[in-house]
């Protein structure tokens, strides 16, 4: 759900960049050595999943998997997703460098919100219950990301409001797909590597 260069006002770009930098800094602080491999896997997963995208006005439609990244990484989703977005901007021109901070904020902040909403259900419940929470997290992250993208466009100018509404409705099928993928991934992880979520069972 990349916003392209030139679509946003300078005020939105600066504000998004500052907030994204703060999120990355906090994420790096909370990223333990043990979770670096998981961060690398989630960064690569986002990179690959979002390569196939369909341009949609000032943004695009594609899989994100930021809900799953948030469920596993928490605040560390910020640096993980930032790296993937940076590589996509440099090598493929997706989004752009000037809007890198805003794109990072739009995708990583929902991941963190989903982490706090769903972490207890995933860590404490049975695998089947955890899968339901994982599905909720996957869909919720996409919904929140569309809201963030829409807010960034709306803050830039009223002319982008119709495009912001279109982005939300175009991502409804993506919400369903990500719910299935995230739920299945959480179910598998709870069965074969339950300790992946145990670190988040208690408030951090």
**Tens of pLDDT along 43-68?**
999 998 888 777 666 666 788 999 99
204 inside domain? no
148 inside domain? yes
Which residues share a beta bridge with 59?
56
14 inside domain? yes
Distance in angstroms between the alpha carbons of the first and the last residue of the chain: 29
Asked if pLDDT for residue 172 goes beyond 80, the answer is yes
Burial environment of residue 87 by CB neighbours within 10 A (0 to 12, 13 to 18, 19 or more): middle
**Among residues 84, 100, 87, 74, which one has the least CA distance to residue 41?**
84
111, 146, 159, 178, 186 from 116: Cα distances, Å: 9, 19, 34, 18, 16
77 inside domain? yes
Total domains in the chain come to 1
Q: Which range (25-29, 41-45, 161-165, 186-190) has the least confidence? A: 161-165
Confidence band for 203, pLDDT divided at 50, 70 and 90: very low
CA 185 to chain centroid: 16
What 3-state class would DSSP assign to 119?
helix
Asked if pLDDT for residue 105 goes beyond 90, the answer is yes
Quick one: pLDDT at residue 187? 93
Average confidence (pLDDT) over 3-20: 92
Q: Which CATH number do you get for residue 169?
A: 1.10.1760.20
Domain containing residue 182: 10-198
Asked if pLDDT for residue 17 goes beyond 60, the answer is yes
């Amino acid at each position: 759900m990349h916003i392209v260069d030139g679509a946003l006002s300078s005020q939105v770009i600066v504000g998004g960049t500052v907030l994204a930098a703060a999120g990355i800094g906090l994420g790096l602080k909370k990223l333990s050595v043990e979770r670096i491999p998981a961060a690398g896997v989630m960064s690569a997963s986002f990179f690959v999943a979002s390569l196939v995208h369909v341009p949609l006005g000032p943004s695009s439609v594609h899989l994100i998997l930021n809900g799953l990244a948030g469920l596993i990484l928490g605040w560390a989703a910020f640096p993980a997703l930032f790296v993937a977005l940076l590589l996509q901007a440099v090598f493929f021109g997706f989004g752009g460098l000037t809007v890198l901070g805003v794109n990072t904020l739009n995708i990583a902040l929902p991941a963190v919100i989903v982490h706090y909403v769903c972490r207890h259900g995933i860590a404490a419940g049975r695998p089947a219950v955890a899968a339901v929470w994982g599905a909720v997290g996957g869909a919720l992250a996409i919904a929140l990301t569309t809201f963030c993208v829409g807010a960034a466009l709306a803050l830039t100018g009223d002319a982008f409001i119709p495009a912001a509404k279109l982005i939300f409705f175009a991502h409804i099928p993506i919400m369903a797909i990500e719910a299935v993928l995230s739920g299945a991934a959480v179910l598998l992880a709870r069965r074969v590597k339950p300790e992946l979520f145990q670190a988040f069972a208690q408030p951090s």
